[in-house]
Amino acid sequence: MSLESGHTQTYEYGAESIVLRPWKMLAEMWHDMIGSRQLAVILAVRDLRSQYRQSLFGLFWILAPPIVVAVGLSVAQQNNLVNFGEASIPTGAYILIGMSVWQIFATAVSGPLLVMGSYRSVLTKVVVPPEAIILSSMLKLGITMVLQLLLIFFTFLWFHLPFHATTLLGPPAMICVAVLGTAFGLLIMPIGLLYRDVALAIPILEKGWLAVTPAVFAALTPFAGKYAWATKINPMTPMIITSRQLMAGEHLTMLPQFLGVVGLGLVVLVIGLVVVRAAMPLVIERWSA
Model pLDDT for residues 187-244, shown as the tens digit of each residue: 999 999 999 899 899 999 998 999 888 888 865 545 557 777 888 889 999 999 999 9
pLDDT higher than threshold 80 for residue 127: no
Query: Domain total for the chain?
Result: 1
Counting other chains too, the contacts that 184-188 makes at CB distance below 8 Å and 24 or more residues apart are 184/108, 184/109, 184/268, 184/272, 185/108, 185/109, 185/110, 185/111, 185/112, 185/113, 185/272, 186/112, 186/134, 186/269, 186/272, 186/273, 186/275, 186/276, 187/268, 187/271, 187/272, 187/275, 188/109, 188/113
Average pLDDT value over all residues in the chain: 83
| Residue 15: inside a domain | no
| Residue 47: inside a domain | yes
| Residue 17: inside a domain | no
pLDDT higher than threshold 80 for residue 115: yes
Cβ(113)–Cβ(180) below 8 Å:
no
139-173 pLDDT, tens per residue? 889 988 999 999 999 999 999 999 999 999 999 99
When mean pLDDT is compared over 3-17, 78-92, 113-127, the highest value belongs to: 113-127
| Residue 11: inside a domain | no
| Structure confidence at residue 15 as a pLDDT band (50, 70, 90) | very low
* Amino acid 255: pLDDT: 93
| Residue 8: inside a domain | no
- Domain hosting residue 160, numbered range: 31-288
| Residue 9: inside a domain | no
255-274 pLDDT, tens per residue? 999 999 999 999 999 999 88
| Residue 111: inside a domain | yes
User: What pTM was computed for the model?
Assistant: 0.84
| Residue 23: inside a domain | no
